[in-house]
Amino acid sequence: MLSRSTISTILHLRIPFSFFLMPVYLFAVCISPNVNGANVLWSFLTIHLLVYPASNGYNSYFDKDEKSIGGLKNPPPVKKGLYYTSIIFDVAAIVLALIFVSKEFALMLFIYGLASKAYSHPSVRLKKYPVAGWLTVVFFQGIFAFAMSYAGINKFPFDTLLHSRVLFPGLLTSLMLFATYPMTQVYQHDEDSKRGDKTMSLKLGIKGTFFFAMGFFAVAAAGFVYYFITTFSALYAVVFIITQSPVVIYFFFWFFAVWKNPEHADHKSTMRLNFVSSLCLNGFFIYLFLHTWHMI
């Protein structure tokens, strides 16, 4: 029988939350010229089952949230074991990357881990600074995570990651996160204020966060459409727009509800938007991969 401390640790790792970050990896798979089954397996496992959960756990340990957080409606009190588990997960990811993938991929995992710790740790706590915290998350969960995934999938050296064929789609993932990340903070204003964390969403206000997300999403969507037309064909741009329509519909439905009553900017609605967005993006990138590799 699992102890309360163990259950708390498992819950705070929020492994299912990796589903929301999976589109970045799948996009990298879609444009990879050197897809190898073993590399895909190990890079996927180390990122989604070790590095992302380690980041979640480390963040939870120092935040000590009492109210809902991403992927966890009723977070239990954190225990010291969560801190050690997050470190063990990070180390395990780096070791596995060195053994089964490449030293370049392992180094990028290490850098990602350092950035996630700087975001949460009291001595730095980038989360306290709205613009710096926002840019850090957008960079490391966007273009850096994309390049990291690409390096792991293809076993390519660093100089390959500086090519426009990697940088431009990576930039598009960051553009999407420019829009979506403040939306994940929109229900946490009270909790963040209590801790002294000045998040981007808190700075913008609830309605301002929606307008901000709307603008960046439009720019990101236009960028994706341009990319698919110029890199693949207009067909994929059309399919992308169709698959993103449920996200847009839900966003505006929720926005109108929040406009009437700001209390609708709650955890449940935020997680629903995350789920719809991730489901649609994951579905599109799986379709793109299967179609471009002539599997369908």
Residues 213-265 have pLDDT tens digits of: 999 999 999 999 999 999 999 999 999 999 999 999 999 999 999 999 999 99
pLDDT given at position 229: 97
Residue 172 is predicted with a pLDDT of 97
Confidence of residue 295 (pLDDT cuts 50, 70, 90): low
**76: which DSSP letter?**
P
Total of domains in the chain:
1
The whole-angstrom separation of Cα 166 and Cα 259 is 39
Q: What share of the chain is helix, strand, coil (3-state, %, to 5)?
A: 80, 0, 20
Measure the CA–CA gap between 256 and 73, rounded to whole angstroms. Answer: 24
- Helix, strand or coil for residue 70? coil
**pTM score of the predicted model:** 0.94
User: Any residues with CB less than 8 A from the CB of 284 and at least 6 apart, and which?
Assistant: 239, 240, 243, 244
CATH number, domain at 21?
1.10.600
pLDDT of 9-65, one tens digit each? 999 999 999 999 999 999 999 999 988 889 999 999 999 999 999 999 999 898 887
Structural domain boundaries enclosing 122: 4-292
Structure confidence by residue, pLDDT tens digits, 125-152: 888 888 888 899 999 999 999 999 999 9
